[in-house]
Amino acid sequence: VSAFGTLGALVWSGSRVVQRTAKMGYFLIGRKWLRVMKKDGTPVNTLKLQFIWCALIIVIIGGVTSDPFKILSDYSQYSYWIFYCLTGIGLF
C-alpha cells in the first residue's frame, strides 16, 4: 500500500511541478503544458510528458544493463536524498 501511495504522490506532484514551471516561463513551448481538464484541474499534457519521459528512461536503461530495476532505484535515491537535504536546510 505504501508503494502505491508513494507512486501516486510522485506522479501527481511531478506533473504539477512541470505545469508550474511552464507557467513561470521556463519551457520554450510553455503554453502547451498549461492545459488542464476543466472538471478537476488535472494537468493532462504534463502527465503525458511525464509518461513519455519515464518510458524513454526505462527503454534506454533496460536496453543497456541486465538489471534495470537496480540502476533506476539507485539513481533515483540520489535525487531523493538531495532534495530531502535541501528541504531540511530550507526549513532551518
Query: Which tens digits make up the pLDDT trace of 16-65?
Result: 887 888 788 777 676 776 777 788 878 888 888 888 888 888 888 777 77
CB atoms within 10 A of CB 23: 13
Reported pTM: 0.62
Read off the pLDDT of each residue in 62-82 and give the average, rounded to a whole number: 80
Question: Rounded to whole angstroms, how far apart are CA atoms 18 and 42?
Answer: 12
Give exposure, 47-58, as e/b (b: 16+ Cβ within 10 Å): bebbeeeeeeee
Contacts of 69 (CB under 8 A, 6+ apart): none
